[in-house]
Amino acid sequence: MVDLQSYDFLIAFSVSTAVPDEKPDKQLSSTNAILMEDTPTYGRVIEICWSVYDIKKQIVCDEVECLVKPYKFHSLSPATVKKTGITNEDMISHGTVLSEVLRRFNENIYMNYVMNNATFCLVTFGDDVLTKILPHDAKEIGIKLPNHFLTYFDIITEFRKCYKFYGTLGSINEYLAFLKLGEKPAKTSGSLECKSILRIIHRMAKDGHRFQQAKVLNPQHQLINETAQEVSRDYRLNKKWSTFIRSRSPESFRNPSKTWYIRLRGLPYTAREPEIIEFLRGIRVYKEDIVFYYDYEGKFTGEAYVQLHNEADYKEALSYTLSDIGNRFVEVFETNENEYNKARLSQYPEKREIRPEVSQNWAHLLQDHTGIIKMRGLPYSCTEGDIREFFRNLNIMEGGIKRPIIGGKASGECFVVFETKEEAYAALNLNMEKIGNRFIELFLSNNRELENFLIHNFTDSGPTYSKEHLPNIPLDKRKSTVIMMGLPFNTNKNDILNFLGGFNLKEHDIHLLPGHSGKFSGNALVTFEDELEAQRAIKTKNLTYINNRYIELSEYR
């Protein structure tokens, strides 16, 4: 049984804020009164504390407290000193600027968790810390918060889910009292809150609570998925309206009889759930429906799989292909449940596939002396001949152009293997030159990246054949051409003619597509008289059966 725990570590994160005097002294200079003017109701950050909890071992493994000098700091108000336990002497001797504290936190996160491929999530007391307080102060000093500040658990919400508690509690001490956990002294209010969050996390973990379905913020630090996770006292009302949340029509959010899956390819290696949700903006996606694919060494491949519950969302998601995340263009493909589950299992080291054997057909490409270039931004109409012409003065190895066909279309990404590393370096001089009217990006690659690419795209991944193996369909016939997927492997052209019996077709209009092994892949291209006939075929024959196999028909562009 797959472990449903979403994270390896939970990071209790708390802040203390300054409190302005109610009646500032008129004699104070503008610098002295900086904490009193233009201060939001929730105050400025003067302390940040975090503590790390190993959710599997159920132990605390790190605790850090940092005093933060407010913007143009001069002195703290008496109310602030009383509330937080932080004195002006403490701030002068130990305080540092917010940018340095955040740099220290981010470096800690990167070195201890990101580099070790460990998953983590922040835990706060309430939403204001990450939706208002910290974003406000970071914006004031010109800092953009990293993406790990966009996903978090609110301990109040998790408390309600764990203990089915629908009442109202105030301070965090009241939550401790509810759990019969006595108060423990701490020097400052921030460190006290952080330790209290940890104690509540520990009790909930002991009681079997699973920290799943974290809250997700958009880049403006506004909640994206709160409605699906908040506990409502009026369950009937919540149930009544939940199917219409963020919907563009009264269509039910979840189709109980079917789910759809998409594959995102070319993601930045720093991408996580918030980037995926923002990329698919307008489409109903929850964090638990997103899985990232890791190779047999546990490294992120730049691919993610998303489960969708609605056909309208599925079709819209496919239209997002070649949209960008940061400076990377991301391809979106249709995929299936088996691939989705394979990616989900890759998150667990003990369930990852054993390193596959490299095909003898590829072994000559993965030599120490070869040079490898990764191409990105290729036109769909580009052929291997066009690529060889692009590198016409350089020696490409036999079979050294590896470009997969996914969903009946050539990928915009390709690997090219040269006979020597020097030629690969020389090829980089052609970076941002054109093939057709498209600028081509070139990157120096290596054997490991190419091997992962070959394993993932040329083994058990459906039809993966070179562009030159596709039939030469004229451009004016592309719109009237349909790709058929899921055909039985013993299908012949007469079977397809019988299946499409109501259409005027000849055998030369049908092309059975081979896979990388040369055998029939289960896919075929069929060219109709015109675009109207092609659309009629999709409408009437999509998801109908040949023998016991249902066949999918879609446009071929």
Q: Which domains does the chain have, with CATH numbers?
A: 9-227 (3.30.420.10), 243-351 (3.30.70.330), 360-468 (3.30.70.330), 472-555 (3.30.70.330)
Kindly state the helix (H) or strand (E) to which residue 138 belongs, with its residue range.
Answer: helix 134-140
Measuring CA to CA, how many Å separate 59 from each of 51, 199, 327? 11, 10, 39
pLDDT of residue 468: 45
pLDDT of residue 262: 94
- The CA distance from 326 to 330, in Å, is 10
Q: Which of 172, 139, 156 is nearest to 45 (CA)?
A: 139
Q: In the structure, what pLDDT confidence band is assigned to residue 396 with cuts at 50, 70 and 90?
A: very high
Mean pLDDT of 520-530: 86
Find out whether 317 and 262 touch, Cβ atoms under 8 Å. Answer: yes
pTM of the model: 0.43
Q: Examine the pLDDT at 545 and tell me if it is beyond 50.
A: yes
Which pair of structure tokens corresponds to residue 221? 């630090």
In sequence order, what are the residues at sequence separation of 6 or more whose Cβ sits closer than 8 angstroms to the Cβ of residue 258? 311
Average pLDDT, the chain: 78
Which pair of structure tokens corresponds to residue 419? 């006979």
- The CA distance from 337 to 305, in Å, is 10
Which pair of structure tokens corresponds to residue 394? 């350089």
Sign for the pseudo-dihedral over CA of 316, 317, 323, 324: positive
Which pair of structure tokens corresponds to residue 504? 């005027």
Find out whether 538 and 553 touch, Cβ atoms under 8 Å. Answer: yes
% of the chain surpassing 70 pLDDT: 80
Q: Of all residues in the chain, what percent are helix, strand and coil, respectively (each to 5)? A: 35, 25, 40
Q: In the structure, what pLDDT confidence band is assigned to residue 517 with cuts at 50, 70 and 90?
A: low
Order of strands, sheet of 300-308, starting from the edge strand that comes earlier in the sequence: 290-294, 300-308, 260-265, 328-335, 323-325
Q: Which of 304, 305, 439, 470 is nearest to 376 (CA)?
A: 439
Q: Which of 508, 499, 506, 504 is nearest to 472 (CA)?
A: 508
Find out whether 536 and 502 touch, Cβ atoms under 8 Å. Answer: no
